[in-house]
Structure 1
């Protein structure tokens, strides 16, 4: 690996299951990694985890990265023991056929598969039918009696995928947004004697409407908010360069806008100044569709200056999301340098 970071921790974060509203396994990892690094760890009734590093002033900064992944909830069990699903987050049904999944039950995890029947057995009408999540069935390889005994409506389902190095990339499921949780944890480790109080927050339920960020914005009422998330990198065929949004290997993304936010001009300008001063590679991000915790933090407790650092990611919302190792390092470096240089005296009013 050319870029140096703790790949095993990133793999653990991505391979661990945690859909919106059911992020408890991730909470355990985040709490473990915060231990001995921050001054205080707490969680709230929604499940956000806050690790606070006390600074030399009352000025407070929230750094937020959501820890939920897109997934499913079991909504029905057929008489033959197949599971029908309700989506938690934005899925493209075309990527679901022939995927392995994990069903999280009270009696333990079960492996399953979303089947795909042989194409030569389909009618022309079936081939042309637009795929929908409602048409997906999970096969557990068990008789219906065993399924009824072990699975309940409301159990959770995630795709089953290992995280591996792929050339200069890392690929796997749930890099959206575990790679940002990873970057946040690493920045917390590096932060030493900050001039301001920093609340590092692993938020919940971002994939279903920025809900954790909205709650934490009210509870903490920060003076400044920085969100970390993945962003689109469509630098693959058949897209043309104006459609890329970001490009893998070109550095951390400094967000200018997405569907949920237009970032504070002075905040993204300072992020850019820090990157240039520290020779950290970066690219400017204009995301035409898709929201992030940035929007939830910017306005839920009144007007809050907000910015965001994004990790360019190919194949978002699929089981094979991919990031470039050097972009992960750039994201960690930029967040750390920004926090180290925050005095609480910068004027972000417009």
Structure 2
């Protein structure tokens, strides 16, 4: 894998900070990139960014990838200067111990999620399950200083850089910046399409697909595609191959269902046909849990045909999310081929 795509942009996107409702830094990158590669760009009241490439017909396609990453909001500062938080998105509390974070207060403050050393744990503490409500952040400052710099409502992000790991890429927020990256890369390649294409960088997906649901009304597309990461549980802990969902290195994933949506059969069949015709490595995805922006477009403004393309990713909702470079490239190729071959004349009704 030669990483024959804009790796520096992918790293910039994934290392940017943007929890649900506070996607400002990511939004600035999305606006910058779409302004260069689409005909017009707008931002709505929620913060969704839409870059539109005008087509030769009134038929329109929405392509959505979300900007937000999971994080926290400050809910309390203790009298000793420790910070307690409320989650913004779904965390497995087991992965939070000993993580480094940034608290975005009056200034950006580095902190650590504290963990009591095993030497001093009581038997009761050893047996107690981890919970996000028990998380406390140590900012390494006295209580008075913390009180001055941090308040209820400040947001918290996890710290991690993005790096190459063999032919793979690992870091935080690949969910879903790697798919926003794929959308931007596709927009670069598309000129003079038959249909109008709305590339949407959405907000607040991790807390209920909120941005996409609003866009479903505002854009009201004839066809919608969502881009998101999906589970790749091809790791030693998963004994049953059926539970892997997808595998790294096997190609882009064409979604058939997740917990929020059953994709339109005619849409996922055409995605598959395009992949086969173009010789693009692909696999099919049946995800038993989790939702995506796909559902936000399916019936918000009446029944719509929807599909989704996913990038297989290991270790979702951690700071070590890992994707394969070839799978990313295949996703860009499939999205581009599908959009450039969309004429508005395909019948997706059932």
TM-score between the two structures when normalised by the length of structure 2: 0.99
Moved more, 4-13 or 209-218: 4-13
Q: Tell me which residue corresponds to 1:313.
A: 313
> 1:296 and 2:296 equivalent?
yes
Task: State how far apart, in whole Å, the 2-side matches of 1:189 and 1:110 are.
Answer: 37
Alignment of 1:56-71 (within 5 A): 56-71=56-71
Q: Tell me which residue corresponds to 2:271.
A: 271
Q: Tell me which residue corresponds to 1:223.
A: 222
Aligned residues: 349
Q: Tell me which residue corresponds to 1:134.
A: 133
Q: Tell me which residue corresponds to 1:244.
A: 244
Shift of 1:108: 2.3
> 1:177 and 2:171 equivalent?
no
Task: State how far apart, in whole Å, the 2-side matches of 1:8 and 1:149 are.
Answer: 36
Q: Tell me which residue corresponds to 2:145.
A: 146
Partner of 1:35, secondary structure, is: helix
Q: Tell me which residue corresponds to 2:200.
A: 201
Task: State how far apart, in whole Å, the 2-side matches of 1:3 and 1:25 are.
Answer: 25
Q: Tell me which residue corresponds to 2:185.
A: 186
Shift of 1:72: 0.3
Q: How far does the alpha carbon of each residue in 1:260-294 deviate from its partner, in whole angstroms, 9 at most, with x for none?
A: 10000000000000000000000000000101000
Task: State how far apart, in whole Å, the 1-side matches of 2:141 and 2:9 are.
Answer: 34
Task: State how far apart, in whole Å, the 2-side matches of 1:23 and 1:269 are.
Answer: 34
Task: State how far apart, in whole Å, the 1-side matches of 2:117 and 2:262 are.
Answer: 47
Partner of 2:37, secondary structure, is: coil
Superposed CA RMSD in Å reads 0.7
Q: How far does the alpha carbon of each residue in 1:137-166 deviate from its partner, in whole angstroms, 9 at most, with x for none?
A: 000001111101111110000110010001
Q: Which runs of 5+ in 1 are unaligned?
A: none
Task: State how far apart, in whole Å, the 2-side matches of 1:281 and 1:177 are.
Answer: 21
Q: Tell me which residue corresponds to 1:254.
A: 254
Partner of 2:36, secondary structure, is: coil
Shift of 1:35: 2.0
Q: Tell me which residue corresponds to 1:124.
A: 123
Partner of 2:42, secondary structure, is: strand
Shift of 1:84: 0.2
Task: State how far apart, in whole Å, the 1-side matches of 2:107 and 2:142 are.
Answer: 17
Q: How far does the alpha carbon of each residue in 1:198-255 deviate from its partner, in whole angstroms, 9 at most, with x for none?
A: 0000000000000000000000100000000000000001212111100000000000
Q: Tell me which residue corresponds to 1:341.
A: 341
Shift of 1:3: 3.1
Q: Tell me which residue corresponds to 1:112.
A: 111
Partner of 1:348, secondary structure, is: coil
Q: Tell me which residue corresponds to 2:212.
A: 213
Task: State how far apart, in whole Å, the 1-side matches of 2:80 and 2:256 are.
Answer: 50
Partner of 1:235, secondary structure, is: coil
Alignment of 1:31-110 (within 5 A): 31-105=31-105, 107-110=106-109
Q: Which runs of 5+ in 2 are unaligned?
A: none
Task: State how far apart, in whole Å, the 2-side matches of 1:155 and 1:112 are.
Answer: 14
Q: Tell me which residue corresponds to 2:161.
A: 162
Q: How far does the alpha carbon of each residue in 1:52-80 deviate from its partner, in whole angstroms, 9 at most, with x for none?
A: 00000000000000010000000000001
